């Protein structure tokens, strides 16, 4: 049976595990119909022209976690930012691990989607926000249909989350193949502030496909910093669908560090709904082998005096392939918009490829929009210069790559995270350059 049919027929079984009388279930039932109609995206669709899911959809994925698997903290410590006090929402094979987590209901809510969906206390938030900005495309609808578990974060007015929040999804490989569909909801009310770090980590070579949906609502003058660490093994694929709605004078930033995986697709969408908004999208991609990373971004400017800043850097070695597709829409009303986009790439091998495509749809006449894209090799003259000072070839290359990615790293606001990212890059490049940039 094809995966699509298997999923549709599994929906009945899924209904036995959830409260079918809850209003959210109407949303699920509607979503499975949309998925049935639209199915998985194919390369015929413009937005999926350079990314094929065919190979990864051939596996006979296990759709529901069969048992609760446990992990010991010491065995997975390295995937945490352990040198920093944080809240933690941890899932193992799609199930919540209370053992590894540290949640709270003190002033702010950092907990589980499953409790938010089933407790009366959260009903108004769920009614107001759940599935309100997630569009009806095939993959998002599939996630909505099976939405049950994930992270739920609610920061009410004038609150600052007292520490960053880590969301980590482990897959243990106990199932030979596994489909994970986390569903996250993050609501940050007026003048509030939160920092979130998210990571997906497969612990074995068994194939995993994660189809994640995150909705983030950023109210007036609120600040949200979201960091995505994608450094998974070569049999783990990820489709990350993130939708962010911002109200007036809010600032939201998403950093995506794509250092590995099989096929990684990031659908990152910002919808601006007020004046004076700033949206920041930064990314560093460093991949090799046959890895594939696709960044598909959208910033929709609808009101005057807003900004968006996109800066994506990519380094591709061996047969790695990259895609950057950055769409900016500026509505007629959105005068005085400043929208910037840049995508710079280095190809380290003749067989590596990058497809970079800016898409600007501008309907206002008084705006500043710029986009730029470069594709090049490491500068030979710069390499010789460094080597002539005694810096080995490998280190010189690494230093140039660090320098290339540096301004994106500079904007990471959590020092321990910045250090960790530096270390991940150093490990990836197989060097120790002896200082933090």
User: Where do contacts with another protein occur on this chain (CB under 8 A)?
Assistant: 379-382, 384-393, 395-396, 399-400, 402-404, 406-407, 433-435, 437
End-to-end alpha carbon distance in the chain? 51
Nearer to another protein, 121 or 394 (CB): 394
DSSP state of 50: T
Residue 407 CB, nearest distance to another protein (Å)? 7
Nearer to another protein, 56 or 401 (CB): 401
Residue 225 CB, nearest distance to another protein (Å)? 22
What SS3 class is residue 432? coil
Nearer to another protein, 133 or 437 (CB): 437
Residue 401 CB, nearest distance to another protein (Å)? 10
Residue located via tokens 């998403």: 254
Residue 283 CB, nearest distance to another protein (Å)? 17
Residue located via tokens 């003259």: 381
Nearer to another protein, 16 or 388 (CB): 388
Nearer to another protein, 29 or 374 (CB): 374
Residue 386 CB, nearest distance to another protein (Å)? 7
Residue 284 CB, nearest distance to another protein (Å)? 13
Residue 432 CB, nearest distance to another protein (Å)? 10
Nearer to another protein, 255 or 397 (CB): 397
Residue 427 CB, nearest distance to another protein (Å)? 18
Nearer to another protein, 364 or 433 (CB): 433
Q: Residue 268, class by beta-carbon neighbours within 10 Å (0-12 exposed, 13-18 middle, 19+ buried)?
A: buried
Answer yes or no: are the C-beta atoms of 134 and 179 closer than 8 Å. Answer: no
Nearer to another protein, 47 or 378 (CB): 378
Answer yes or no: are the C-beta atoms of 275 and 302 closer than 8 Å. Answer: no
Nearer to another protein, 301 or 397 (CB): 397
Residue 436 CB, nearest distance to another protein (Å)? 9
Q: Which two tokens stand for residue 22?
A: 């809850």
Helix, strand and coil content of the chain, in percent to the nearest 5, comes to 25, 40, 35
């Amino acid at each position: 049976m094809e995966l699509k049919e298997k999923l549709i027929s599994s929906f009945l079984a899924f209904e036995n595990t959830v409260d079918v009388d809850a209003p959210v279930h109407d949303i699920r039932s509607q979503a499975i119909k949309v998925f049935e109609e639209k199915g998985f995206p194919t390369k015929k669709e413009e937005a999926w022209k350079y990314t094929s899911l065919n190979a990864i959809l051939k596996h006979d994925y296990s759709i529901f976690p069969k048992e609760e698997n446990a992990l010991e903290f010491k065995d997975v410590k390295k995937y945490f930012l352990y040198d920093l006090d944080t809240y933690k929402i941890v899932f193992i094979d799609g199930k919540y691990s209370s053992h590894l987590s540290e949640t709270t209901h003190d002033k702010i809510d950092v907990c589980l989607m499953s409790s938010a969906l089933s407790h009366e206390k959260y009903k108004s938030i769920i009614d107001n926000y759940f599935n309100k900005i997630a569009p009806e495309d095939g993959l998002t609808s599939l996630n909505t249909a099976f939405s049950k578990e994930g992270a739920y974060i609610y920061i009410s007015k004038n609150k600052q989350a007292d520490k960053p929040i880590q969301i980590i999804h482990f897959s243990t490989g106990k199932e030979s193949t596994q489909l994970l569909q986390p569903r996250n909801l993050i609501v940050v009310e007026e003048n509030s502030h939160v920092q979130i770090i998210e990571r997906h980590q497969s612990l074995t070579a068994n194939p995993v496909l994660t189809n994640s949906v995150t909705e983030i609502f950023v109210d007036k003058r609120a600040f949200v910093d979201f960091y995505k660490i994608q450094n998974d093994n070569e049999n783990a694929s990820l489709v990350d669908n993130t939708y962010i709605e911002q109200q007036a004078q809010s600032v939201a930033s998403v950093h995506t560090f794509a250092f590995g995986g099989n096929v990684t697709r990031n659908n990152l969408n910002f919808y601006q709904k007020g004046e004076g908004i700033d949206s920041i999208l930064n990314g560093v991609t460093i991949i090799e082998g046959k890895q594939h990373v696709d960044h598909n971004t959208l910033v929709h400017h609808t009101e005057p005096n807003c900004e968006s800043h996109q800066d994506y850097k990519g380094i591709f070695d061996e047969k790695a392939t990259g895609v950057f597709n950055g769409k900016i829409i500026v509505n007629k009303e959105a005068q005085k918009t400043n929208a910037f986009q840049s995508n710079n790439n280095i190809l380290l091998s003749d067989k590596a490829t990058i497809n970079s495509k800016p898409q600007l749809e501008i309907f206002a006449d008084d705006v500043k929009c710029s986009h730029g894209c470069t594709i090049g090799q490491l500068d030979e003259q710069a390499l010789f210069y460094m080597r002539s000072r005694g810096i080995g070839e490998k280190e010189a290359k690494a230093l140039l790559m660090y320098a290339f990615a540096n301004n994106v790293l500079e904007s990471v606001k959590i020092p321990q995270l910045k250090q960790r990212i530096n270390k991940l890059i150093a490990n990836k490049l197989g060097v120790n350059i002896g200082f933090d940039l």
